A and B are shown apart, each in its own frame.
Chain A
Amino acid sequence: MIMGAEPRLGVSDPGPARRPWQPCCARTATLRACDGAPGSVHRLDPFSLISSHGARQAGEASLRALRVLLVVLLLFALAIGAFFLWARHSEIATIDPSRRPPADEAVVAKGAELAAIGDCDVCHTVPGGPPYAGGRPIPTPFGTIYSANITPDATTGIGHWSQAAFRRAMKEGVSRNGNDLYPAFPYDHYAKLGDDDIAALYAFLMSRAAVQSRPPANALIFPLNLRWTVAVWDLLYLDRTPFRPDPKQSEAWNRGAYLVQGLGHCGDCHTPRDRLGGERTAAAFAGGTAEGWSAPALTAASPAPLPWSEAQLFRYLHQGWDTAHGAAAGPMAPVTRDLARASASDVAAIATYVATLEGPGAARPAAAAATANARPLPTETVSASPADLGATLFEGACANCHSGISPMVPPHGIDLRRSTAIGAPDPTDAIFIVLDGIRPVEGERGPWMPRFDGAFTDAQLAALLNYLRAQHSGTPPWSDLDSRIRALRQSKERS
């Protein structure tokens, strides 16, 4: 084929005349120069730097080079063709929702608990809107994605999806009609799920009230607004291997690992991402970001002043706060609200697994657990001068709740020497918490910290946080505090 094309080179072929609306360069595909004069031809010379004398001698060499170029181009075209063939997904036929066999109640109940671990409602519900009806804007570095309606509505939801279509969406990130789904939907985690669990989730979702609601169209930058580009992402980041239990670990640990790596998609926030938005698996759980907040590391790099014990993790995850570590805030708050509805044994398994992520130091023997706070708290060595504005503000605004008299029991806040946010490398979470407070969902119970955004100016907030950092963390001052305060005050990501 390539050889057949060769004799055309250099033949005086006038070629199609250029029309006024045709860009000149469009014709370079016919290996024709852009001089515009019909009939005039010259050879496209890849070695155009060679003088016209030299060109004659270099003729053969350039022909060889062209041949190589064509081979490369053809291989490239074949690769692209193969990629698109591979990336093309078939449509899975719709089903008649009225003919869906009724699901077993126990399976639906199991699906409800699993959906709580997967936090499905958090993204698939507009705050205050009907559950699972989608439409919540998910900000990404590449634009805004609106979550899908996953109620059983047949026209705008997934009521006409078969279980097979649902399974493919969960594990491969492909919609029923064959379109790629964006990885804001964490199918790269759900790929680890077992089919039984997916069946339970399907049964649960199909038991929800159908809501007719079409989410707004995504607003993503080019070329990511073309769904097929996700197939490239999948090539790079989608690991299709199912979860493999570690026979050396306990059953609870393995259950926890399965839930954390799969359905819980904890790494979605707690693992750093690269520029293309893929999780850097080599740095799993080393800390990431979520909705503008920083999600602390769960590994040995954890900024928590005290190591997390299994029991503390369980309480924190299941009730939303723990006396030694404080209350869940920001995007973690809805996660713990969901985990309150999950099965206690699954949450305990998650705690078992996560407690081991900190490394051997954290897995303390029962004897040491008696003196649970093995890592010493920083002592209050920095003495504040009376003129220190931060100390004054702390005394008037914070000390009533945070004076460190006892472990946190709401309404009293945590002893700030135990605060992860104050000791964290990034001041973002501490700024958010002081500005916006910590509040439970309207009408629900939970720790309540009042907001201080109206009370403090930027400079006052900086003075307060600098004081808290120096007094309570024993870590060096934040270098970017002032600029972070200004930026976050203006950001739209605050509640």
Chain B
Amino acid sequence: MIELTVNGTAHRVDVDPATPLLYVLRDELQLNGAKFGCGLGQCGACTVMAEGEAIYSCLTPVAALQGRKITTVEGLGTAGNPGPLQRAFIAEQAAQCGYCIAGMVMRAQALLQRNSSPSDAEIRAEMEPNLCRCGTHMRILRAIRRASSEMRTASTQNATEARP
């Protein structure tokens, strides 16, 4: 049995420890946000976070993830109550077919958690591993910039409101 903590919930799954996380997410836990693109770490559609770092779930065996916090796109918000980065992707209409978007959102989330105000060059360098065949890259970049600035504004407002 493998123990996994996904989006704050503990799961015990009976799979071969060499199974890449992606198959467990989709086939065992019914978390279908992460997508199978190439299965070779070349496209980034399967990107999720482990302990805040972006990883390719198609190439990370569950044996490597026991005891580490895994976050998928489902962990950032729901359709009714999307998280800040998801709201920004919607506002910029960054999805066309949408297949790459969960991976894009997760890699961007890992970046913004590490660096709340990345430069354009830093965003481009970070997002380079993730491909979009529809070509909405410019909108994706805008969405990440928007999320970065909205998240900063929100944290400033929170700080101001918190003062007596």
User: A446-479 interface mask toward B, CB cutoff 8 Å, 1 = contact, 0 = none?
Assistant: 0011111111110010000000000000000000
Known contacts A392-B61, A454-B55, A455-B60, A400 near B40 by CB under 8 Å: yes
Of chain A, the residue at the smallest CB distance from B38 is A411
For A452, list chain B residues within 8 Å (CB). 55, 59-60
In the complex, what's the smallest C-beta–C-beta distance from B41 to chain A, in angstroms?
3
B40 and A397 contact, CB distance less than 8 A = no
Query: A41 at interface (Cβ–Cβ under 8 A)?
Result: no
B19 and A396 contact, CB distance less than 8 A = yes
A450 and B18 contact, CB distance less than 8 A = no
CB < 8 Å neighbour of B60 from A128, A396, A437, A448: A396
CB < 8 Å neighbour of A400 from B17, B59, B64, B121: B59
Query: B53 at interface (Cβ–Cβ under 8 A)?
Result: yes
CB neighbors of B among A371-408 (8 A): 389, 392-393, 395-397, 400-401
Give A63 to B94 CA distance when docked, in angstroms.
92
Which of B4-12, B27-35, B123-131 binds A? B123-131
Most buried by B among A450, A452, A456: A450
For B103, list chain A residues within 8 Å (CB). none
A401 and B40 contact, CB distance less than 8 A = yes
For B20, list chain A residues within 8 Å (CB). 396-397
Kindly state the interface size class of chain A when it binds its partner.
Answer: 20 to 34
Give A7 to B80 CA distance when docked, in angstroms.
103
B53 and A450 contact, CB distance less than 8 A = no
A450 and B63 contact, CB distance less than 8 A = no
CB neighbors of B among A421-456 (8 A): 437, 439, 442, 448-456
For A395, list chain B residues within 8 Å (CB). 18, 61
CB < 8 Å neighbour of B50 from A389, A450, A451, A454: A454
For A450, list chain B residues within 8 Å (CB). 40-42, 56, 59, 129
B63 and A455 contact, CB distance less than 8 A = no
Give A452 to B61 CA distance when docked, in angstroms.
11
CB < 8 Å neighbour of A454 from B17, B38, B53, B124: B53
Give A448 to B131 CA distance when docked, in angstroms.
13
For A455, list chain B residues within 8 Å (CB). 50, 55-56, 59-60, 64
Give A437 to B59 CA distance when docked, in angstroms.
13
For B41, list chain A residues within 8 Å (CB). 401, 437, 449-450
CB neighbors of A among B54-76 (8 A): 54-56, 59-64
Give A442 to B64 CA distance when docked, in angstroms.
29
A396 and B18 contact, CB distance less than 8 A = yes
Of chain A, the residue at the smallest CB distance from B67 is A457
B128 and A393 contact, CB distance less than 8 A = no
Query: B39 at interface (Cβ–Cβ under 8 A)?
Result: yes
User: A164-189 interface mask toward B, CB cutoff 8 Å, 1 = contact, 0 = none?
Assistant: 00000000000000000000000000
Give A396 to B20 CA distance when docked, in angstroms.
6
Give A401 to B39 CA distance when docked, in angstroms.
9
Number of B residues, CB within 8 Å of A: 28
The majority secondary structure among interface residues of chain B is mixed
For B64, list chain A residues within 8 Å (CB). 393, 396-397, 455-457, 460
Of chain A, the residue at the smallest CB distance from B21 is A396
For B56, list chain A residues within 8 Å (CB). 450, 455
Give A460 to B53 CA distance when docked, in angstroms.
16
CB < 8 Å neighbour of A393 from B38, B49, B61: B61
For B38, list chain A residues within 8 Å (CB). 411
B53 and A453 contact, CB distance less than 8 A = yes
For A460, list chain B residues within 8 Å (CB). 64
Give A447 to B17 CA distance when docked, in angstroms.
29
CB < 8 Å neighbour of B61 from A397, A401, A448: A397
Give A307 to B63 CA distance when docked, in angstroms.
37
A128 and B63 contact, CB distance less than 8 A = no
A392 and B63 contact, CB distance less than 8 A = yes
In the complex, what's the smallest C-beta–C-beta distance from A326 to chain B, in angstroms?
16
Give A456 to B59 CA distance when docked, in angstroms.
11
In the complex, what's the smallest C-beta–C-beta distance from A95 to chain B, in angstroms?
37
Give A457 to B41 CA distance when docked, in angstroms.
18
For A128, list chain B residues within 8 Å (CB). 121
A397 and B59 contact, CB distance less than 8 A = yes
Give A449 to B51 CA distance when docked, in angstroms.
22
For A456, list chain B residues within 8 Å (CB). 64
Give A437 to B42 CA distance when docked, in angstroms.
11
Give A401 to B59 CA distance when docked, in angstroms.
10
In the complex, what's the smallest C-beta–C-beta distance from A452 to chain B, in angstroms?
8
Give A202 to B17 CA distance when docked, in angstroms.
60
B42 and A400 contact, CB distance less than 8 A = no
Of chain A, the residue at the smallest CB distance from B125 is A442
For A392, list chain B residues within 8 Å (CB). 17-18, 61, 63
Give A460 to B129 CA distance when docked, in angstroms.
23
User: B117-137 interface mask toward A, CB cutoff 8 Å, 1 = contact, 0 = none?
Assistant: 000010011001100000000
Give A453 to B64 CA distance when docked, in angstroms.
12
A454 and B63 contact, CB distance less than 8 A = no
For B121, list chain A residues within 8 Å (CB). 128
Give A396 to B39 CA distance when docked, in angstroms.
11
In the complex, what's the smallest C-beta–C-beta distance from A329 to chain B, in angstroms?
16
Give A400 to B18 CA distance when docked, in angstroms.
12
Give A460 to B62 CA distance when docked, in angstroms.
12
Please name 15 pairs of A and B residues whose Cβ atoms are closer than 8 Å in the assembled complex, sorted by A. A392-B18, A393-B18, A395-B18, A395-B61, A396-B19, A396-B20, A396-B60, A396-B63, A411-B40, A411-B42, A439-B128, A451-B129, A452-B55, A454-B54, A454-B55
Task: Please name the 9 residue pairs, one residue from A and one from B, whose CB atoms are nearest each other, closest first.
Answer: A396-B61, A450-B41, A454-B53, A395-B18, A396-B18, A455-B60, A454-B55, A392-B18, A455-B55
Instruction: Known A-B contacts: A450-B41, A450-B59, A455-B59. Give 19 more (CB < 8 A).
Output: A392-B18, A392-B63, A393-B64, A395-B61, A396-B17, A397-B60, A397-B61, A400-B59, A411-B38, A411-B42, A439-B128, A439-B129, A442-B128, A449-B41, A452-B55, A454-B55, A454-B110, A455-B64, A460-B64
Interface residue ranges, B against A (CB under 8 Å)? 17-20, 38-42, 49-51, 53-56, 59-64, 110, 121, 124-125, 128-129
